[in-house]
Amino acid sequence: MIKTRKLLSLIAGLVLSMTASAHHGANSNPDLYLAENLIELDGEVSGVLWRNPHPRLMMTVVGEDGEEAEWELEFSGSVNGWARQGVNAEFFQIGDGVKAAGVVSRRDPTSIGLLHLLLPSGEEMVSGNRELRWSDEQFATTGRRTLSSEEIAAAEAAADGIFRVWGQRTSGRPHPEEYAELLTEHGYELAAQYYGPTDNPELECRTGIPTHMFDPTPMEITDGGDSIHIQTLEYNVERVVYLTDDRPEPTSSNVGYSVGRWDGDTLIVETTHIDWPYFDPYGTPQSDQMSYVETFRVADDDSRLDYTIVATDPVMFAEPVRLARAWRWQPGTEMYEFDCVAEWEGSE
């Protein structure tokens, strides 16, 4: 009983820690930001880095002592998400006078997760459903572009079974509470050592299998004849699934080595040779002995792509992990270049 209580306590701690560590959480995420420490800044835009995973501004602030300080303002959301709202790099100009409020990053004491931004126009950008802080007028986005009937018809005509651009998932990312109890003792030890603000590879624009398969962005599957190509928009990850014996020798990589076969209209993919340390974006470990069996099948009503993955890792998991998700069929969904940069490189 004591061992059971200790195990449950460890699982609860891992779940809370790992769930908070995901890079794509809110800008008030307490594991990445000092969420209780909201500060206000008043100054001028000195640089624009409009790239993924999150666009950023640089801001020059003059202190009471007359000394200048440079601050980084990190937006939530992706470049592509902001583009759909009518905001791009040209929206901000060097020298713009702005006010900002946000929470200080645990990784960089001169960077904040931006929650409020007062624009030169007097409009205020806010993150999430927060109340306006300085203005009576909230910045109005243009909203998502409405596809024409011709664009939708063209996308429907081009779709061929699983081969199309699939929209976002129908449900959220898998979370550690779904499989943390299956970790071996060694798996628990490694998971407990994970610290999101410094260890999360997505902060350096890196990802691997199976994390990228559950990213909240579109996915394109294309027919290459003797192979199938699976591209996920976030970080522009592309996998090759070989269908014939005429294929290269296996090599280890962040997406592994995948061999596929058809069972009726279901694609079955087996993946080995995985050189990626994490099972998810929350720090759950996986070893080089991990292997996957995935299935892809279009729903009978053509509304979604049903996906399952069975992960087997005798080092990190006491038994296989089974997960199921689906992607929506949204005709006209497009793929974009993710264009990710990890560190500030100056304005362009």
Here the CATH number for the domain that contains residue 250 is 2.40.128.20
55 and 121: one domain?
yes
Specify whether 319 is located in the same domain as 182.
Answer: yes
Is 158 a member of any domain?
A: yes
Q: What tokens appear for 12 in the block?
A: 């609860």
DSSP notation for 160-191: BTTBEEE-SBSS----GGGTGGGB-HHHHHHH
Average pLDDT over residues 55-71: 93
Number of domains observed in the structure of the chain = 2
Task: State the pTM of this model.
Answer: 0.77
114 & 157 share domain: no
Q: Are residues 42 and 94 in the same domain?
A: yes
Domain that holds residue 288: 150-328
- pLDDT, one tens digit per residue, over 324-341 is 999 999 998 888 888 887
pLDDT band at 20, cuts 50/70/90? very low
pLDDT in tens, 99-143: 999 999 888 899 999 999 999 999 999 988 899 999 999 998 766
Q: Check whether residue 280 and residue 203 sit in a common domain.
A: yes
CB 257 within 8 A of CB 271: yes
CA quadruple 15, 19, 22, 24: dihedral, nearest 10: 160
Domain end (from 126, 141, 162): 126
The SS3 call for residue 340 is strand
User: What's the pLDDT at 263?
Assistant: 98
17 occurs within a structural domain: no
3-class DSSP state for residue 2? helix
- Give the pLDDT score at 234: 84
Tokens coding 315? 């080092």
